């Protein structure tokens, strides 16, 4: 089990990570979310051993994870880290990058393993292509496959699908997380994408200015967001009289006491997102039809929907 206990890290006398604690079991997925600058990437670097913990401790199966003050080369054999900057060799092929750290004493096993991972990341057709000729999204997929090549016990992923277009992202994400689960690889995932979290993470940690704003099951945090930052991560929301409502919890009704004026309608997947003003505040709601700007409407709020 990965154990992060009361970990803090200061940079230039400013707390970048402040008293963060959580644990991840074998095969589990912990999603770390938060606004840019909240400390997500710093936390992953601390776990990997790129940075020294100022306070607290980090361990995997009770083995301490040490930073550069105590370990000359960062990292451990049981752990892999896929950062936003890809650690690839540009002048050799995709297959050679993936198999770079696999033993040449077992060529058949190496080839089988490489082909398996090429399929996982959807790059079979590019097996013999030099990495320098790939797109950013393709390079990101090579980096994922390379990290999985030696079957780590834990993997750290920092925005692992950020360069990948939506045509490839959805099926790739399913294959990657299914692979991690079936091979019991623990994962800590820093992400801005709610689809990474809701469908694949068992636990979720919300950071704000280095501190833990909230933690728990993604479903619970989604259903009862305790802070606007949490709601904003998942969907469009409105804060009315101190209550947070998602857009699907606000309805248009034929008549009522809660009058609003439509500002704009935005086409979404099977519905329109309506932006309106209510009590001099902007509110967002989902509606089946387009509503012209300037239209007066009446609203109904349902936080239990």
Cβ pair 9, 16 in contact under 8 A: yes
Q: What is the pLDDT of residue 302?
A: 84
The string of pLDDT tens digits covering residues 190-223 is: 999 999 999 999 999 999 999 999 999 999 999 9
Residue with tokens 């034929």: 254
Task: Tell me the pTM.
Answer: 0.92
To the nearest 5 percent, what fractions of the chain are helix, strand and coil? 30, 35, 40
Looking up tokens 């401790």, which residue turns up? Answer: 57
Q: What is the rounded CA–CA span in Å between residue 201 and residue 217?
A: 8
Phi, psi of 66, deg, nearest 5: -100, 150
Q: What is the pLDDT of residue 77?
A: 85
Q: Are residues 266 and 209 in the same domain?
A: no
Domain final residue, candidates 223, 252, 269: 223
Which residues does 42 contact at the CB level (< 8 Å), separation at least 6? Answer: 9, 11, 16, 17, 51, 210
Of 223, 249, 283, the one marking the end of a domain is 223
**What domain range includes position 82?**
2-223
- pLDDT, residue 215, reads 97
Tell me which DSSP letter residue 258 carries: -
CATH for 243: 2.40.50
CA gap 285, 247 in Å, rounded: 4
Confidence label for 305 from pLDDT (cuts 50, 70 and 90): low
């Amino acid at each position: 089990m990965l154990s992060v206990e009361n970990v803090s890290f200061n940079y230039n006398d400013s707390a970048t990570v402040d008293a963060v604690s959580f644990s991840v079991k074998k095969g589990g997925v912990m999603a770390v979310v938060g606004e840019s600058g909240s400390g997500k990437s710093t936390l992953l670097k601390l776990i990997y051993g790129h940075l020294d913990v100022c306070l607290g401790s980090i361990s995997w199966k009770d083995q301490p994870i040490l930073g550069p003050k105590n370990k000359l080369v960062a990292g451990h054999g049981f752990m892999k880290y896929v950062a936003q900057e890809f650690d690839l060799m540009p002048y050799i092929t995709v297959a050679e990058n993936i198999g770079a750290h696999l033993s040449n004493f077992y060529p058949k096993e190496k080839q089988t393993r490489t082909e398996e991972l090429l399929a996982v990341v959807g790059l079979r057709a590019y097996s013999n292509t030099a990495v320098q000729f790939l797109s950013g999204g393709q390079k990101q997929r090579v980096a994922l496959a390379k990290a999985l090549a030696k079957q780590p016990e834990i993997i750290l992923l920092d925005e692992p699908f950020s360069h990948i277009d939506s045509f490839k992202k959805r099926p790739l994400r399913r294959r990657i997380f299914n692979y991690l689960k079936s091979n019991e690889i623990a994962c800590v995932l820093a992400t801005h994408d709610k689809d990474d979290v809701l469908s694949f993470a068992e636990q979720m940690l919300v950071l704000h200015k280095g501190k833990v704003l909230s933690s728990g099951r993604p479903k619970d945090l989604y259903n009862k967001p305790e802070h606007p930052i949490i709601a904003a991560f998942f969907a469009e929301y409105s804060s009315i009289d101190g209550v947070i409502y998602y857009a699907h919890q606000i309805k248009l009704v034929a008549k009522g006491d809660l009058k609003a004026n439509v500002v704009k309608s935005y086409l979404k997947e099977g519905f329109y997102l309506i932006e309106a003003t209510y009590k001099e505040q902007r509110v967002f709601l989902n509606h089946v039809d387009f509503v012209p700007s300037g239209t007066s409407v009446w609203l109904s709020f349902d936080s239990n929907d």
